[in-house]
Amino acid sequence: MLSSIQSSVPRRMLVTSALPYANGPIHIGHLVEYIQTDIWVRAMRMHDHEVYYVCADDTHGTPIMLRAKFEGIKPCQLIQRVWHEHKIDFDYFGLSFDNYYSTDSDENRVLSESIFTALYNCGLIAIRDIEQAYDPAKKMFLPDRFIKGQCPRCSAKDQYGDNCEVCGSTYQTTELVKPYSVISGITPIKKTSTHYFFKLSDPRCETFLRSWIGQLAQQEATNKMREWLGEDGHKKLTDWDITRDAPYFGFEIPGAPGKYFYVWLDAPVGYYASFKNLCDRRGLNFDEWVRPGSTTEQYHFIGKDILYFHTLFWPAMLKFSGYRTPTNVFAHGFLTIDGKKMSKSRGTFINANSYITAGLDPEWLRYYFATKLNSTMGDIDLNLDDFQARVNSDLLGKYVNIASRTAAFLVKRFNACVLDSAMNHPLLIQLRDAIPKIETYYEGREYGRALRQVMVLADAINIYVDEAKPWMQAKDPNNTVALHETCSISLEGFRLLTLALKPVLPRLAKAVETFLSIESLKWADVTVPLSSMRPIRPYQNLMCRIEPKQIDALLFANRQYN
C-alpha cells in the first residue's frame, strides 16, 4: 500500500467510536476502543486530512429509566450527570473528539424519525402483533436485557434475551429456555403488543449486504457476515423489532402513541446526530458528508460484540433511507486483566476514574494498549507486571533516555544549537526512511508493529550514543566537534522518534516540541530536521517511571470502588 506520506491528495474522513451507555462509568475495557480510534484519528490528522471524530453518550432505554427511578431523579438528570463523568475520563486519556454529544438530542430525534419514515415509505417497515415477555409484578414489557435464561442454541445459562455471550447466537426473547425477569425474578408471561419491524429479510437488503460485504477490511468480519447471510444462498436474516412499549425512556414513534424507537435504532443514528450538531456549529455542509455519492470516508470503530448491528442493520438502514454507507467498520476484541476477565473481587474491574485518582499517567496506558493492538478482532491482555516493565523499558529506558543523556551538553557547550552539518548522518537517513512504513502500520491499525519498529530505531540511537560516549567526549577539548555532532544526531533522532510516537503519546509529543523549539509535528516534517537557527530549551524531565506502589494503589482503589 502506498504510504499517504507520499500522497498530496487530501482526504475527508468522518470517524466514530461506539457510544458508551449512560448508566455507568467508563472502565478500562472501554478505553481499548477509544484509544485505538484516537490513535488512528491523530495519525490521519498528521497528514493534514480533514478528519472529524465524533461520539456521544447512548442515553435511551429501560436501564436508564429504571436507574433514574432507583435514584429518585429524572432520566434527563441522570444522563446529564453521567455525560460529565464520561467527558472527564475521556479528556484525561487524551481523546480528541471534535464533538462529544448525547443521543437524547433534537438532532437525533429528527434524524431517527426521518430515517424511519424513509424506510417505511420504501416498504421496509412491517407492523405486526407479537407476543412479548411481560412482568406482571412490575406491569411492564421486558426488554431483551431484562430477561435471562438458557440459550436456545447452546443451553448456556444466564444469557440475555437477545444474544448469547457464550456461542454468539442471536435470537428472539421468546426463544429463551427457562426465562426469568431480571427485575422481579419471576417467570414472565406472554402478552400481545403491536410492533414495528425493519424488514432486514427483504431481498433488497440481502442483495445489498452481499455486495457491501466485500469492502470490509477484516477477514473475521467478512466471514461472520457470510455466516449470517448464509453461504448456500438461503436467507438467514430475520426482521428486526425496532419498537419498545411504554414505559420507556426514548423517542416516541410518530403516529404511534405509547410506542418508542428501540435504543439500538436511535443509537447509531446518534453518530450522525453528533456530526450534525458539529456541522451546525462550524458551518459544515452535513449533506455533503453523509449523502450517496459523497467523496468523504466514513469509519466506525466498534467492539466485536456489536458487529451484527454495525454490519447488517446499520448499513442497510443507511442504504435505504437515502444516506451513504460506511467505508469500513473496524472491530476489536475484548480486554482481559492478567489473563482473566475483569473481576470486582480481585480489584481488576478497573474504572477509568480509579486510574485517574491513583495518579497514573494516561499515556502509559495509551502506549501499552497500542503495543498490543493490531488489525484483527483478537482479545488483548493487560498484564500489570508487563505494563510496568514495558513502559519503564521502552518509554523511559529507550526513548526519553536519549534526550536526557545528550541535551545538557548541547545547552551548556554549544548555546543549545545543533550542528547543521550533522543532519544527514547515515543513522538519521535510516530513521527517516523508516517513518513512512511506520505510518502505514498506523493507518492499517497495526499499532503493535509500528511501535516495535520505533523501539528498534530507539535501540539504534542508544547504541550510537553508547559507542560515541558523549560523557567522555565532553572531557576531551580535542573532541568538541565530535561531541557537538553526537548530541545533534541524538536529538534529531529523538525528534524523529517523537514524530513516530505522536499519535500514541500526544501530550508527551507536545512537551518535546516545546523542548526542541519546533512546530507541531506532522508526517511531512520527517524531512525538516532540527536547525541551529532554533536553539533548544534546557531539558526538563519528560516522563516518570511507573513504581510498584502506584500499581498497588490502583488495585486498592478499585477494591474500594467496587
Q: Which of 347, 327, 328, 329 is nearest to 337 (CA)?
A: 347
Number of domains in the chain: 2
Q: Say if 364 falls within a structural domain.
A: no
Torsion angle of C-alpha atoms 510, 278, 62, 34, degrees rounded to 10: -20
Check whether 5 has a pLDDT greater than 60. Answer: no
Q: Are residues 396 and 261 in the same domain?
A: no
One domain, residues 102 and 214: yes
* CA dist 521 → 46, 329, 364, 512 (Å): 7, 28, 21, 10
Mean pLDDT of 62-71: 93
Q: What are the backbone angles phi and psi of residue 169, rounded to the nearest 5°?
A: -70, 150
> Do 318 and 463 share a domain, yes or no?
no
Please give the average per-residue pLDDT across 143-161, as a whole number: 90
Q: How far apart are CA 264 and CA 314, in angstroms?
A: 10
| pLDDT for residue 211 is more than 90 | yes
Round to whole Å and give the CA distance between 105 and 270: 9
Residue 1 banded pLDDT, cuts 50, 70, 90: very low
Q: How far apart are CA 96 and CA 3, in angstroms?
A: 24
User: What pLDDT does 76 receive?
Assistant: 97
3-state SS string for 208-262: HHHHHHHHCCCHHHHHHHHHHHCCCCCCCCCCEECEEECCCCCCECCCCCCEEEC
Q: Hey, which bits of 251-354 come out as E strands?
A: 259-261, 297-303, 328-332, 335-337
pLDDT at 234: 60
- In-domain check, residue 30: yes
pLDDT confidence of residue 235:
58
Same domain, 316 and 393: no
Please state, as a whole number, how many other Cβ atoms lie within 10 Å of the Cβ of residue 157: 11
Shared domain for 220 and 295, answered yes or no, is yes
Asked whether residue 382 falls in the same domain as residue 307, the answer is no
* Neighbour count for residue 180 (Cβ, 10 Å): 19
Q: Taking residues 209-231, report their average pLDDT.
A: 89
Tens digits of residue pLDDT in 224-246: 998 898 865 565 789 999 999 99
CA 48 vs CA 10, 51, 139, 327, 452: distances in Å: 7, 8, 56, 20, 25
% of the chain residues with pLDDT over 90: 84
pLDDT at 171 over 50: yes
Model confidence pLDDT, tens digit, residues 404-460: 999 999 999 999 999 999 999 999 999 999 999 999 999 999 999 999 999 999 999
The rounded mean pLDDT for the chain is: 94
Shared-domain flag, residues 401 and 320: no
- Residue 7: pLDDT over 80: no
pLDDT of residue 143: 78
* Higher pLDDT, residue 235 or 66: 66
- Is the per-residue pLDDT at 201 higher than 70? yes
For residue 451, being part of any structural domain is answered with yes
Confidence band, pLDDT 50/70/90 cuts, at residue 8: low
Domain for residue 520, yes or no?
Answer: yes
Domain match, 269 and 325 both: yes
Residues 328 and 476 in one domain: no
274 located within any domain: yes
503: CATH: 1.10.730.10
Of 9-13, 163-167, 390-394, 524-528, the range with the lowest mean pLDDT is 163-167
Contact between residue 32 and residue 246 where contact means Cβ atoms under 8 Å apart: no
Same domain, 396 and 504: yes
Q: What is the CATH number of the domain that holds 43?
A: 3.40.50.620
Question: 443 by DSSP, 3-state: which?
Answer: helix
Q: With bands split at pLDDT 50, 70 and 90, how would you rate the model's confidence at 26?
A: very high
- Answer whether 58's CB lies under 8 Å from 105's CB: no
Q: What is the per-residue pLDDT across 249-300, written as a single tens digit (0 to 9) for each?
A: 999 999 999 999 999 999 999 999 999 999 999 999 999 999 999 999 999 9
Is 453 a domain residue? Answer: yes
- pLDDT tens digits, residue range 491-526? 999 999 999 999 999 999 999 999 999 999 999 999
Residues 266 and 118 in one domain: yes
Q: 547: exposed, middle or buried (C-beta count within 10 Å: 0-12, 13-18, 19+)?
A: exposed
- Amino acid 133: pLDDT: 87
Q: Give the separation between CA 241 and CA 172, rounded to whole angstroms.
A: 9
Half-sphere exposure of residue 540, counting CA atoms within 13 Å on the CB side? 7
Based on the fold, state whether residues 322 and 428 are members of the same structural domain: no
Q: Which of 8, 25, 22, 44 is nearest to 330 (CA)?
A: 44
Is there a domain that residue 168 lies in? no
Burial track 220-240 (b if 16+ CB lie within 10 A, e otherwise) = bbeebbeebbeeeeeeebebb
Q: Tell which residue, 122, 96, 147, 105, has the closest CA to residue 507.
A: 96
- Alpha helix segments (H runs only) across 397-473: 401-413, 426-443, 447-468, 470-473
Integer Cα distance of 494 and 2 in angstroms: 26
**What local confidence, expressed as pLDDT, does residue 233 receive?**
58
Q: Would strands 189-198 and 240-241 be described as parallel, antiparallel, or unpaired?
A: antiparallel
Return the closest-CA partner of residue 17 out of 303, 269, 237.
303
Question: Domain range spanning residue 474?
Answer: 370-374+378-527
Average pLDDT over residues 150-168: 89
Q: How far apart are CA 555 and CA 345, in angstroms?
A: 10
Residue 338 lies in a domain: no
Other Cβ atoms closer than 10 A to 151: 22
Taking only the tens place, the pLDDT of each residue in 83-130 is 999 999 999 999 999 999 999 999 999 999 999 999 999 999 999 999
